[in-house]
Each structure stands twice: as structure tokens, then as C-alpha cells.
Structure 1
Amino acid sequence: MKKVGIISQARMTSTRLPGKVLLPVGDQPLLQYHVARVQQSGLPLYLATTTNATDDPLADFAATRHLPCTRGDEQDVLARYQQCAAFNDLDIIVRVTSDCPLLDGQLIAENVQTYIHTDNSRLYLSNVLERTYPRGLDFEIFSRELLEEAFLHATLPADREHVTPYIHQNRSGRVQFQHVTRREDRSLYRLTVDTPEDFQLIQQLIEHYEAATLSTDALIQLLDQHPELVALNAHIEQKKL
């Protein structure tokens, strides 16, 4: 049996909204929604944060919830993933980011099964390259083999910071791809938290529309029905690699 693990990267020093993952929404921090939603996949979740003192609160958060946590270099996030995967002996890695509080664990679980059934260690499966899902529902699935290859050979700062460019740009020439897409494109919707406007939307969705209980399809339907909510962060541009 292949050992699958979801690794979520987290830090407190976000440039556009520092400390965002521990900002309170309702009666709990934003990160708690992320953890609870991802754990609905039924797969082990690991937090990969930094050794900086500023991220001690994240390590404390993980410890109080019995959530495995590894710590490494702030800029070399690729090394953090490699360290976490090696320490926990993972064969298959699901990469997510902690600023996505409404990730759908069931969607992740379904696509992990798809990945396992391919039995192909050279496969990279995601919903991020051919983007049709709202930003903030992102996941990437790849093997330990591809992760170790990237760790050993990726040299550009952007490769190390953003974890998967070496893989999804197929620098080795031997990566195969499978894209997870929806029939209706809703890629312009933002359910990630990178700015105060993003946080305002997520706060509204969770506190007034019970978004933390909704499936992907129900979340998208809710946004379709409320263009005034979509408008809260529609002008935000995603940071480039």
C-alpha cells in the first residue's frame, strides 16, 4: 500500500496580510477551518512551517491539535516538503496551502484515488494548470520520486519557494500530466486569503452562509447566486511566480 499524506505549507509572515492564517473567523482561527476541511479527506495531514520564531504560534497550533508539524527554511519551501515527506515516509504527496480555508477534502480524496489507480510515479495530477476551479480549492498530487527529483535538481529561487515549478514545467522531460477540470469555468472566483479583501469575503461566507459546511459545487453555486460577494475581491490579482 502506498502511503499518502497531505502537506500544507504555512507561515505567519505573509507580505500582503501578515498573520492571516490565525486571524479569527467566528469562534476559531482561519487555519482551523482549513485543517477541518482537509481532514474530511480521511488522509493524514502534515503542517510544514518555518524555523522562525514568528512561526512558533503555528507550531503551537499544531501541537494542541496533535497535528504533525515539521519546520524548515522560510524561503526553501521545496526543502520543507522534502523534509516532511522523508520524515513521514510518504510515497504520494498532496500539496495544499494553508491560506485556503474552504478546500474540499472529499474532492481531494476522490482525486487521490484516481492518482493511485494510475499506478504511475511520473504523474502530476492537479486542478491548477488548466484552471477551472475557484482559486483556493487548489491541490497538486505527485510522487515522492518527483519531489526528490525536484529537491535535488531545482536551483532557481522561484523553484525552491513555490515547490512544484520544476515538476509542472517538466524540466526533466519525463513528467506526465492529468488535469482535473470542471465543465463550467469558475476560475475567476477567489476563495483563497492573500489580502484584506479576500479575508472579508471568507469571513462573510463562513459567518453568514455556513460556507465551511459546503461542498465545492455548493460553494460555487453560492457565489453564482451572490455577485455582490464575488465583487468583494474580484479586483485582486494573484501574485506571479
Structure 2
Amino acid sequence: MSQFPLSVQLYTVREALAADPAATLERIAGMGFATVELFGMVERVDLFEELLPRFGLTPSSAHSTLLGIDLVPVLDAARRLGVTTVIDPNIRAETWTDSDAVVLAANELNAVARVAADLDITVGYHNHWWEFGELDGTTALEAFADNLDPAVVLEVDTYWAQVGGVSAVSLLERLGDRVRFIHVKDGDISRDDRAQVAVGSGRMPVAEVLAAAPQAVRVIELDDFEGDVFDALTDSITFLRSLGETL
């Protein structure tokens, strides 16, 4: 069980958020969430600045591209919204098959982290499935982590790790306290987003995953879902609460 309340990645409800932001965030709050993980933070900074406080929501974290861009708008948005951890959600897949490219990406993220630290903002990285090919006797993600400054945190997407061919539980145990956030999701462990289901309804060893990372914020996410995604979130909350997690 984590000391942190459950969060939700708002990408999960992106269609509803685009159609009616206020109603969507009100519904998220009504489900019991007090924290949310943001996406599209720069484009939606005015919207989030207005609506998050209205519904008693605070950011647990935010996803934003951090490499090869102008950082000023990202860091300004984070400061306005009270985001203390900004996580790069995706470094292009071809990076992870080349040792030099992995080291370069790590050094670039380290440089971003030094800039962000001056504003009391922590930087992190979130994986997909393609970071888990073998590289220099380990997984590419772990080779990347070995080259990161200790100040850079990891958000392990436990589902995509499993899809990538590694045990999410073993990965979390190896990475230890470097992991400060985890994406908790479920499904048939395939690359098909629409095969994802409510947490506890698929093939993921969810209880073991949670036990392997007690220090990490749990962020519920569905990349896609065949049905009403709010029903899937409700069922996910029910299951996670049965395991002792709290909102």
C-alpha cells in the first residue's frame, strides 16, 4: 500500500475532457480523486488553472515532452499549476536500440533536470514497451537509468513493461527507489490499446506490482477502452481499494 492517494492520468478521459472540460473534471472529483496527472499542460494551462481548484483537484504530476524543445512554456505552466514533477512520456523508439543514443538521451534529460531544479521542479521519464530490448547486458531502460542523474525519477508504466517482455514486478524491485510513480493498468498484455480493461480485470499481477513499489504514486490509466471509460475507472478504484489503496 502506498502512502499517496490514487491519481488518474487525464489522457484516460481525453475525449470527455475535450468535449466538456468542467463536467469531466467534476466527474473525476466526484469519483473520489483528489489528484490527477496532467497531459497537454501547456496548451491547457489556462483551463487547468481555472478548473482544477474549482473541483478540489491538484496535480500529482504532469506529462510533457522535455527533450529538443523550448522548456520555458513547460516550466512556466508547471509553476502556474503547482506541478512539482514533470515527466517526459515518450522518447522515440529508435533511440532504444543504440547504446550511444541511450546515453545521449539520458544526458539531455539530466541537463533538463538541472534547469528545472532551479524552479524546484523534478523531472522524470515514463516508458512504453519499446525500451525493454537487450542493450549492453541489461534492458535499454535500465541502461538509461544507469546514466541518469539520481535527481531524475522514473515513472514505470507497469503494463507496457510487461508488454515489452519483462516482469514488471522484477523491474520495480531492481529499480527500487528510483521509481516514484507507476502507471497501474490492466489488459491482455498486448500492444493493442483497446484490449485494456479495468484494473483487476485482466492478466496483470496487480497486487504484486503494488507491493513491489510501496514508495510510488499509483496513477490509473487506460490508453483506450471498449466501453465507457468512466465505468472502467470506477471498477479500477473498487479493485484497488480492496487491496488497501486509498483515494
- Taking structure 2 as the reference length, the TM-score comes to 0.30
- Taking structure 1 as the reference length, the TM-score comes to 0.31
